[in-house]
Structures are given as structure tokens and as C-alpha cells.
Structure 1
Amino acid sequence: MIKPNRILSTSVLTLGFLFLYIPIISLVVYSFNSSNLVTVWAGFSLKWYGAVLHDAELLAGAWLSLKIALLTAFSSVVVGTWAGFVLARMGRFKGFTLFTAMINAPLVIPEVIMGISLLLLFVAMEQVFDWPAGRGLVTIWIGHVMLCVSFVAIIVQSRMKELNLAFEEAALDLGATPLKVFFVITLPLISQALVSGLLSFTVSIDDLILSAFLSGPGSTTLPLVVYSRVRLGLNPEMNALATIFICLVTTGVVGVNRWMQSRERKRMRDIHRAFISEANEDQKRAPAAGKAPSKLNPAKV
């Protein structure tokens, strides 16, 4: 007999998934609609995908957003990893509270406030240092990095706190420098947390508010293009564009997840082989030393 609590939890979970994914599914379905009206089905057609591929403004905005998102993801992972490492391993140093508050601030400060602050900062810097020369890719990238570093730092910090220090201590005992231990031991062990860079990519590529404040002529990102068009009315071309991005993001997430799982399985196999090899060596040495073979369990990693 199925327990009532299980029925309730299953029902709530199902309703939650339906609430989230029914709009996305309907968007994908209507992207193949031949009608010029978004919500009126008139037959199957791929013409809106052709329209997207021949829309110069959309393609330019998509290419700019892609470049900024890639730069943001890479920079956020580099800066956020070091910030998370400092928060997790350096203890409560002088200024620790201020450092923590500055890392977490972008998570709670409204993007409108951040956008205005950065805009005023860049205007003042341009007047004093003659840099940056107007607003464009660089200013948007700086704003997105400031927003995304917090996500990466918090995820890396939580992973670092769960990490077994024995691996790093063993490497230090064997003569490795702290920097080498970080790159050879620590980074591979927290590699799954570094996938949070993918989160930075998605946050950057669909950001509208910061991009609106920090963009200038000739630097219109894809969200700004889409927003300006949607204000004039819905267009089936937007459905096709959204479907393309859904497919790309889904493929990327699944691919990265499979890659991380394969790496984790390979690491576990290597550890298992190492334990088996050590057990075999102990069994070979034990008769010569006149003692019972070691009962090492290779399954205990």
C-alpha cells in the first residue's frame, strides 16, 4: 500500500515540473508553427528557423552575448575559485568579515543598483583616465563577472569544506609545494564545483538589466534585442530562437555532466587498482617476512 505522504510528495513534485516545463514545451511546439500568430496553430513549418538564421541583428546580438558569456564564465571560475579557496582555507584573517560581505554582496544587491553604480564608475573613469572609451563589450563583461563571481565562490567554498585534507597533506609530506598541491591535487578534486562556471555562462548570456546600463551603440546583446522586439508584440521568430538556445544549453549541460561522471568513474577505478596492487604486493612480501598476508579490503576507498 502506497503511503499518503508519498502520494502527496509525488503529486507536488509532478505539479511543480508541469508548472516549469509546460510553457517551455509549448514554446518549442509553436516554434514549428507556420502561422504568423504565436498562439494559433496553422501547420508544421521550419520557416521561422530560417528567418532566425537570416536575421542579421539577432545573429550579431547572439554572437556578442556568446563572447561575453564565455569570457564571463572563464573569468568567474578563475576569480571565484581563488575567492572560495580563501574563504574555506585561510581562516578568520583580518578583514575576513569584509571580504565575505563583498563576495556575497552581488547576490543580495538589486541589479539595478549595481548597474547604476557601475555606469557612474565607468563614466568617471572615462573622464579621469580616458578609459573605457564608451560602453561596450568590456564594460558589460566586467559587470557580468562582478555578478557571477559570487555564485562560483560560494559553490567552491562549500566543496572545499567537504574535501578530505589527507590528500593535500600527503602531497605536502612528499615534498610538493603548496601551489603544486593546489593545481595537481585540489583542483581535480573540486572539478565538479568548477562546473559552476556553466552557471556563470547562463547568468551572463540572458542578463538584461546590467547589459542595459553598461551597453552602448554597436554593443546590443541578444536579450536587449529580444526585449526591444517583444515590447512591440510577440513574434514566432522568438519561439524558434528560444528553442535553439534550449537545445544548445541542454546539450551542453548533458555533455558536461557525462564528462564529469566519466572522469569520476575513471578516478575511482584508478584508486581501486592502486589498492589491489598494494594488496598483492603485501601478499607477496608477507610469506618472505614470516607473517600472515595483509587483509586489506580494496573496496574501502
Structure 2
Amino acid sequence: MHSKQSKWLWACALLVYGFLYLPLLIVVVYSFNDSRLNAEWVGFTTHWYGVLFSDEQMLTAARNSLLIGLVSSIFATFFGTLAGLSMYKYRLRLLPVLVLTPIAIPEILMALSLLMFFVTLNFSMGYLSITVAHIAFSIGFVAIVVRSRLQGMDESLVEAARDLGASPLQAFWRVTFPLILPGIIAGALMAFTLSIDDFVITYFVAGAGASTLPLQIYSMLKIAVTPEVNAISSLLMLLTLALIMIAAKLAPGALRASH
């Protein structure tokens, strides 16, 4: 009976993972398709990756996304680390609600609220509004990762440092900070990944003329799903998976805590 249940569980797991990852595999395979359209497989080629790296619009959008991701992840990591420390130390009931609400609410609602916020302040839409928006929705993810790391820390080490004459600030920099640094780095990587992948919020707050990688891919999809789109999607997927794996390695509980 137990063996039969295990087989059913394995079968269900394979179906679920096949449903999730088979489309991604198809995207990667068809990025090497020797055809202008993806109607059928014609033959193997790396031509579309050459086309991709000579596409000035795509390269500009990629540079914009990387710059926005870098800036937003730096600020989100700073504020998210402070929020994570506050949630761990003070245990206020309202604080987790304030920090984690941007994660829990639907992304479309977050995008609409940020758009209304910028319009109310008469804030010029562009790369700055995109960066501010990315900081806003990334802080909560960083805070969760940092708090998760703090929960696994041995508080007796901080107490020992205080007993030996260290001030609260010295105890933090010499004991707490090195211990939570992997979690901070993992949070930064997660914030960067969320930024370069984001489309919905970016679409709402970008304004005219602003171009990021997800927006550029979307504009190309309006014409056709060409192998060039598959090529950039494959590279973006590879970068995202690499960053997530590094973040999971640095803070094993980060991904579980973020759900």
C-alpha cells in the first residue's frame, strides 16, 4: 500500500514539475531554432544569440535593467536589513504588517497604488520612478531573509561580547553583522532578481520612453515570438536561476521564509 502511494506521489510530482519546467525547456530549445518564426523546428543554430548581442535596443534595455536592479537592490538591502533587525528585536505586532504587506498584496494592486502615489505627488515618470517602485516592493523580501537569518543566530554570542565590555554597536558590528552577512547578501541577490524580472509594476510606473528588459521583450512579443525573444528569455532565465541558487546557498531558509 505504501509503495503504491509513493508511485502516485512520484507521478503527481513529475506531472507538476513537467508542467512548470517543460515550457521553460521549450523556450531554451527554440532559441537555437534556425527559423525566423517558431512554428516548427528547422535546425540548430546560434545565429539568434549573435542577433541579440547586436540589437542596440535590447542591449540598452538590458543595461537599464541592470542599473535599476543594482541601485534598487542596494537601497532595498539597506532598508530591508533595518526592517528585519527591527522585526526581530522589538516584536511589534504592527511592524511585520507594514513591512510584509507589499509582498502579500496582489502585484497589480501594488502597481496601481504606486502609480497613484507618483501621480498625486506630480512625480515625473521614468527611470527614477521605476527605481523607487522596485525599492518599495523589494524591502519586504530582504527583511524576511534577514529576520530568518537572525532567528538562527545564537544570542549567547552577543551576550558574551557584551560581558567582555563591547558596546551595543561594537557587539553588532563584530558579532551580529558577520553572522547575518550571508542573509544580507542573499536578500540583496533576491532584490536584484526581483527587479530585473519585474514587468507589471514597471509597466505601470515607467512612463513614456523608459525601457527595461521585460518591457522590451513585451514590445517584441506584440509582433511575434521570434528566436531572438527566446534567446534573451533563456539568458534572463539563466541569470535568475543562478542568483536564486546563490541566495538559497547563502541563506537556506530564505526561500521558505519568503512564501
Place the TM-score, normalised by the shorter chain, in its bin: 0.7 to 0.9
Among 112, 125, 132, the alignment partner of 1:135 is 125
CA contact (8 A) 2:49 2:228 kept: yes
Q: Provide the secondary structure at the position in 2 that maps to 1:241.
A: helix
Corresponding residue to 1:198 among 189, 192, 196? 189
Contact 1:30–1:39 (CA<8 Å) still a contact in 2? no
Work out the CA distance in 1 between the residues paired with 2:6 and 2:182: 31
Question: Structure 2: how far apart are the matches of 1:16 and 1:187?
Answer: 40
1:188 aligns with 2:178: yes
The more displaced of 44-53 and 190-199 is 190-199
Q: Deviations over 1:256-283 (max 9, x none)?
A: 667x49xxxxxxxxxxxxxxxxxxxxxx
Q: How does 1:225-240 map to 2 (within 5 A)?
A: 225-240=216-231
In structure 2, the partner of 1:218 is: 209
Q: Which residue of 2 aligns with 1:123?
A: 119
1:98 aligns with 2:94: yes
Q: Which moved more, 1:115-124 or 1:202-211?
A: 115-124
What secondary structure, in the 3-state scheme, does the structure 1 residue paired with 2:224 have? coil
| Mapped contact 2:190–2:247 kept (Cα < 8 A) | no
- Shift of residue 182 of structure 1? 1.9
Number of the residue aligned with 2:86: 86
- Residue in 1 that maps onto 2:257: none
Is residue 150 of structure 2 the alignment partner of residue 154 of structure 1? no
Q: Cα 1:166–1:5, aligned 2, differ >3 Å: closer, same or farther?
A: farther
Contact kept? 1:30, 1:236, Cα under 8 Å: yes
Larger Rg: 1
Query: How many angstroms apart in 2 are the aligned matches of 1:204 and 1:172?
Result: 39
Q: Do 1:151 and 1:200's aligned partners in 2 also have CA atoms closer than 8 Å?
A: yes
Amino acid aligned to 2:140: S
1:143 deviation in Å? 0.6
| Aligned 8 A contact 2:189 2:247 in 1 | no
Q: Unmatched 5+ residue regions in structure 1?
A: 127-131, 262-301
Counterpart position of 2:165: 175
List gaps (5 residues or longer) in structure 2. 252-259
- Aligned counterparts, 1:1-20, within 5 A: 3-20=3-20
Deviation at 1:188, TM superposition (A): 2.3
Contact 2:190 2:244 in 1 (8 A): no
Following superposition, the deviation at residue 65 of structure 1 comes to 0.8
Q: For residue 173 of structure 1, what is the amino acid of its counterpart?
A: D
Residues 192-214 of structure 1, C-alpha deviations (whole Å, 9 max, x = no match): 32203222112111111211122
* Residue aligning to 1:45: 45
In the TM superposition, what are the counterparts of 1:26-45 in structure 2 within 5 Å? 26-45=26-45
Q: Which amino acid aligns with 1:120?
A: M
TM-score normalized by the length of structure 2: 0.87
Distance of aligned partners of 1:146 and 1:174 in 2 relative to their CA distance in 1, 3 Å threshold: same
1:172 CA displacement: 1.1
Amino-acid identity (%)? 35
Cα distance in 2 between the residues matched to 1:112 and 1:14: 31
Stretch deviating more after TM superposition (179-188 or 24-33)? 179-188
**Are the equivalent residues in 1 in contact too, given 2:125–2:207 (CA < 8 A)?**
yes
Q: Match for 1:19: what amino acid?
A: F
Q: Name the stretch that deviates more: 243-252 or 99-108.
A: 243-252
Alpha-carbon deviations, 1:128-165, whole Å to 9, x = none?
Answer: xxxx5x22222111111111111111222233223221
Of stretches 96-105 and 140-149 in structure 1, the one that deviates more from structure 2 is 96-105
Structure of higher RCO (CA pairs closer than 8 Å, 6+ residues apart):
2
| Amino acid paired to 1:63 | R
Kept after mapping to 1: 8 A contact 2:190/2:243: no
For residue 255 of structure 1, report the CA deviation from its aligned partner: 5.6
- Relative to structure 1, the CA distance from residue 254 to residue 83 in structure 2 (aligned partners, 3 Å threshold; closer, same or farther) is closer
Change beyond 3 A, Cα 1:220–1:84: same
- Per-residue CA deviation, residues 203-254 of structure 1 (Å, 9 max, x unaligned), is 1111112111221333211111111221232111101111222333344455
CA distance in 2, matches of 1:103, 1:257: 21
